[in-house]
A and B are shown apart, each in its own frame.
Chain A
């Protein structure tokens, strides 16, 4: 892995509940066109495409990348499909970065997307298999017991989840591409939404979104092709663990801890809260923020909720380590794109392109994606300087 990899183009769609005006291909091309324009490259100049979305049963189109290949300019070129559930968008970016760092390609387009309006994710995730009790709950119902266990262990007060949701929704107001824009969002508004899966209220869950996010990753040779300064990939890491295994800790999964440790070692990170200027972390439900703060080493075990409660992760409260300045997954969740968005938003920050949600002078940013039953992890670190 001697070669360096740079993010030279970034594009995303306006995330929304229903993109009835485009089909899958049209939506994916919209994000890709924007990324290519940012990189000042044409479709024909792309060497390879890495593409990811969450399971095909969600929209009921199996291997959509095959019928999209021609429209994505990949006739006679390498096209690589990635499958790692909700973390797929992050894994997709990492696969693209590795192709560049390994010297296989100079210019790789990576894209993640989801069109949740074409199906019903809750039911797609809850098939009633013979002889099993029906889950009938989707992702929120699956993760709620993990959050309840986290609260039991850490004695975190109930308001922390609400506070995280308010914080990310307020961040989203700074991001024109975010799905949810709730101009007057406040603690009481989230608190008074119905309890769906204790301890998760409706206001503490991610939306169902249609959207796509693309990046152009390049070797050093093309790093300044786009005219805007590149974001340099400093480290990438992936880990996974089984859904069920003896001794598995769903609150603080070992694969997540190992992934962070290996990533930080690559980039020489010893104190993530101090060393990073901001982070884009896969917080699809409010309580993931304090839990992941512990898994990812931003707080000691049992102390993550204090980080969130203190305002340290909030732009609006002038926190020292803002998380999800874009509004995060809590404000936009086109699942297959959600991981790509974390990676891309971190890159936007260190390129100084994040607009109203820019962290002043951000030089080093962490991105993280999580998938399946908190079992797939994909992370990268990007910086404004060469690694």
Chain B
């Protein structure tokens, strides 16, 4: 509690913070568990034959529930289908130097995963470039178990 710079009004700090927990469900649960335990990616095969990664729980065409039996391995390498350069990373971003947010289609998948690409320089980035994952040293079952992707070569 304090006066503001002009001595006119009271200013107070307010931090909104609750202890959230997440249940991921059977399909995304397997997706995260495979990344954490084995550094492997899973996609899911739908009735149309497409493989979606990240996997979804519901078939987008039939609207029926998909099952863990429909999961199959994809990646770990993939290619960038679209990207945008972030020249000033913010606290909490996965890479703490200029990097790209990118849509990455892992090998064997028909849809793309959003993640960071640490390419060092914007000039390295291009649509269609090959990338591989770099996993976090300590993995706990979240999307940050993938530290980022980096150029394949």
Contact = CB atoms under 8 A, between A and B. Distances in A.
B58 A120 contact: no
Contacts of A42: 63
A10 B25 CA distance: 23
A26 interface: yes
Interface stretch (A14-22, A82-90, A363-371): A14-22
A331 to B, nearest CB: 23
A131 B1 contact: yes
A252 interface: no
B25 A44 contact: no
A277 to B, nearest CB: 37
A124 B16 CA distance: 9
The A interface, classified by DSSP as helix, strand, loop or mixed, is loop
B60 A120 contact: no
Contacts of B12: 129-131
Interface in A36-51: 42-44
A258 interface: no
B110 interface: no
Given A127-B16, A130-B1, A21 B26 contact: yes
Contact of B57 (A71, A117, A123): A71
A25 interface: yes
Contacts of B127: none
A57 interface: yes
B23 A124 contact: no
B136 to A, nearest CB: 22
B56 interface: yes
Contact of B23 (A29, A57, A60, A115): A115
B23 A21 contact: yes
A115 B22 CA distance: 10
B23 A119 contact: no
Interface in B1-38: 1, 10-14, 16, 18-26, 28
A113 B63 CA distance: 20
A23 B13 contact: no
A118 interface: yes
Interface in B86-142: none
B1 A71 contact: no
Contacts of A21: 23, 25-26
Q: Which of B11, B23, B56 has the most C-beta atoms of chain A within 10 angstroms of its own C-beta?
A: B23
Contacts of B65: 29, 33
Contacts of A18: 23
Contact of A25 (B14, B22, B25): B25
A22 B23 contact: yes
B27 to A, nearest CB: 9
Interface in B30-82: 56-58, 60, 63, 65
Interface string A123-135: 1100111110000
Contacts of B16: 57, 127
B23 A117 contact: yes
B23 A20 contact: yes
A57 B108 CA distance: 38
A131 B25 contact: no
Interface in A307-343: none
Contacts of B58: 25, 29, 70-71
Contacts of A70: 56, 58, 60
B18 A26 contact: no
Contact of A120 (B19, B24, B56): B19
Contacts of B21: 117-119
A118 B22 contact: yes
- Closest 6 interchain pairs by CB? A130-B12, A23-B25, A43-B63, A71-B58, A60-B20, A26-B25
Interface of A: 18-23, 25-26, 29, 33, 42-44, 57, 59-60, 70-71, 73, 75, 115, 117-120, 123-124, 127-131
Given A71-B57, A118-B23, 10 more contacts: A22-B25, A25-B57, A29-B58, A33-B65, A57-B16, A59-B20, A60-B18, A118-B20, A123-B18, A127-B16
5 contacts: A20-B23, A43-B63, A71-B57, A71-B58, A130-B14
